[in-house]
Every structure is written in structure tokens, then in C-alpha cells.
Structure 1
Amino acid sequence: MNLGFLASHGGSAAKHLVAACHAGTLNATPLALVSNNSRSPALAWAREAGLQTAHLSSAKHPDPATLDHAILAFLTTAGVDTLVLSGYMRELGPQVLTHYAGRIINIHPSLLPRHGGRGMYGDRVHEAVLTAGDTESGASVHLVTQGIDEGPVLAQTRVPVLPGDTLDTLKARVQAVEGDLMLRALQDLARG
């Protein structure tokens, strides 16, 4: 697999996967990272890791179709055949979705389908878990389709919601399992 990543902020799952590739734990080659945020820490660490990087956003490409095309052109020119979303906070356009259909994965900080869908990202998900009184949460890796968080779930890891949990403690517990879960899902995808 030739991996490309989309990240809006730190891209911690992507960073974990790049390290796994370099360590030989994941039989894949990390090639490129795109961020919609010019100040994304992911752009900096990806450059240091030798990946091709690009800042592609609606600020540079106000027309959604033009942005979609720019992202696709960058990824295909880099040789990417599998796309990983690592905290990417934008919807993908139809060109990218079609070109990489069945080869785009995302990690979501809940046990999908619970607490997924439009507007459910980041801290909002953990707040929803706590508000609902759930006794467990976790992370889900799923294939990306046109519907937000609606693609088939490839892997999940559960974590307990403990009495007295705050948004920060629950978030930390979920984030602690995300990298290995994404790695496992990609290893399974590579095996077919």
C-alpha cells in the first residue's frame, strides 16, 4: 500500500502509522500528507518524516470542485493508492471519494454508529458519550463513503467510561487506543 493522509491538526494516528511503516510493523509506504490548515503540526512532522506535503484548503481553492480536484491531483501524482483520514475536519469531494472508493479509512472517537454523523467530531463526541451516561466508549475505524460516518466499520476498540470521567480523561483514554486500532485495520486491509 502507498499511503496518503489527510489531517487538520496533529494527525496523531497518521504519525503512528508512519512510524509503524518505518519500523516494518506495517507493510506500506507513507508518501504524502494534505492538510486544510496551514499551521497544522501534521504538516511539520510529515515533512520531517520525508513525506510530500501540501496545504490545500477552501482559502486557496474557494470552489469545492476545484479543491476536490487539487487534492486528488496531489495524491495521485504522489502515487497514493490508500487514503487515511487522521482528524481531517472537512468532507471529501466526489472526485476523491470515487477515485479511492473502498480505500479510504477514517477513525472516529466512538463506537459507531453511536455518536456519529454530521457535527459529531472531536470533543463533541466525548461530551455526547458523557451526557448519554454511556458505560463504554471507544474508537471505530470505518471505510469512508459519501455519508458522514456511515461506511462499514472495519475495527473497533472499547474503553470503559469510568465514574467521575471528564471530557479530558475520557478523550485521553480513547486517544490512547486509536493508533493501534488504525494500524490493525490497515494491516487487515493490506491482507485483503
Structure 2
Amino acid sequence: MLRLGILGSTRGTDMLALISAIKTNRLNATINLVASNKHDAIILQRAKEYHLKTLYLDPKQTDYHQKLSSAFKNANINMIILIGYMKILPTSFINDWQNKIINVHPSLLPAFAGGINNNVHEAVLNAGVKETGCTVHLVTEQIDAGPILLQKKCAVLPNDTVETLKQRVQTLEGEALIEVLMQGVF
């Protein structure tokens, strides 16, 4: 059974897809800890609504990542999922969790690598591409450059806005995360 730790800074929309898959027995996993570097992150509020254990750590602490790693180890986590986590993980943290950290990126990497949240969708629209999607990949020291586990695609529609495109891509993100975790392709 997967024992997931989720690390997020934003709304945690993809976490809701994971919770649903777990509750319907589609995904054999538990979410043991949801952690954030933002005390007011909506992901923490949502986790509490589902009675999940949450943790806020102040990222200004000099030993922030060490405490975060310890918290995940103490929660008996065997896979960390980054969901809208707006901080770069240091090499020491990545090494502690080698091949155990998955990120979901809102584009078809390597296209639009390094971008975050709405900036990616805006860049997609500005580039005039006809197709976008999401990428689930292992986290390495290079940002958005780890081994790709799965990509899901969708069309960019002529009338798309950042928000409509984001909603469509986020639906794919949840599906992709579940698929990767179900297949254990990491």
C-alpha cells in the first residue's frame, strides 16, 4: 500500500482527485500527511475537511527541509507528491527521498518547463500551440527535468482563457497522478 505525503503551497485541487480515488477503492493508498510552506494554503484547509493530518512549517527556518523530511519519515511515508508546491527542493531533500518524489507539471514537458501555475497556461496560450496537457515526473535536482512517468494531452481551444485551460489541464493532472500511482511506474 502506498503511504502518501503531499507537499503543496496552493489549492490542492489534484489532492481531491487522489482522495476520491482512495475513498472509492480505485487507489490502494493512504494520505498520511499534507504539508505546506504557507500557513494559509487552501490545501491545508481541504486536508482538514477530510480529517487528514496536516503540517505547516515556516520556510524561513534554517532547517526547514530537514524538519520536513523528518515529518514525512515520522508519518511513515513511502511516496511524496508535489501538488502546487512553490518552492525548490534542495539536493539533500531530494537525495533523502531518491525516486520517491513525484511532481505534476501543467504542461507537456519539456515545453514550458520552469513555469508555475497560471504562468504556464498563459505561456501556452501566448505561444499559440494547439495542444497542451500535463506531465507527471520524478523529481531530480534539475527543475522539471526528471524522468517522465506519464503525460496526458488536451486540445487548446480557440476561445480558451487561462482559467478554462487550467481547469481542463487540472482534470488531466488528477487522472495522471492516479494512473501513475496505480501502475507503480516509478
Distance, in Å, in 1 between the alignment partners of 2:97 and 2:149 is 16
Q: Tell me which of 177, 181, 185 is aligned to 1:186.
A: 181
What is residue 56 of structure 1 aligned with on the other side?
Answer: 57
Q: How does 1:41-120 map to 2 (within 5 A)?
A: 41-59=42-60, 61=61, 63=62, 66-117=63-114, 120=115
What is residue 143 of structure 2 aligned with on the other side?
Answer: 148
Q: Percent identity?
A: 38
Distance, in Å, in 1 between the alignment partners of 2:34 and 2:75 is 10
What is residue 38 of structure 2 aligned with on the other side?
Answer: 37
Q: Which ranges in structure 2 are unaligned for 5 or more consecutive residues?
A: none
Residues 52-105 of structure 1 deviation map (CA, whole Å, 9 limit, x = unaligned):
21101324x1x2xx0110100111011111000011111112332112111111
What is the CA RMSD across the aligned residues, in angstroms? Answer: 1.4
Displacement over 4 Å in runs of 4+: none
Residues 23-49 of structure 1 deviation map (CA, whole Å, 9 limit, x = unaligned):
211111210010111111211221232
Q: How many residues align?
A: 185
* 2:28 is the counterpart of 1:27: yes
Cα distance change on mapping 1:55 and 1:161 into 2, 3 Å: same
Opposite residue 90 of structure 2, the aligned amino acid is G
Opposite residue 135 of structure 1, the aligned amino acid is K
Q: Which ranges in structure 1 are unaligned for 5 or more consecutive residues?
A: none
Q: Is the 8 A contact 1:52 1:78 kept in 2?
A: no
* 2:161 is the counterpart of 1:160: no
What is residue 15 of structure 1 aligned with on the other side?
Answer: 16
State the TM-score, normalized to the length of structure 1: 0.91
- Other structure's SS at 1:123 match: helix
Shift of 1:13: 1.0
- Other structure's SS at 2:132 match: strand
Distance, in Å, in 2 between the alignment partners of 1:184 and 1:69 is 30
State the TM-score, normalized to the length of structure 2: 0.94
Q: Is the 8 A contact 1:3 1:29 kept in 2?
A: yes
Q: Is the 8 A contact 1:14 1:84 kept in 2?
A: no
Distance, in Å, in 1 between the alignment partners of 2:56 and 2:149 is 29
Distance, in Å, in 2 between the alignment partners of 1:15 and 1:94 is 29
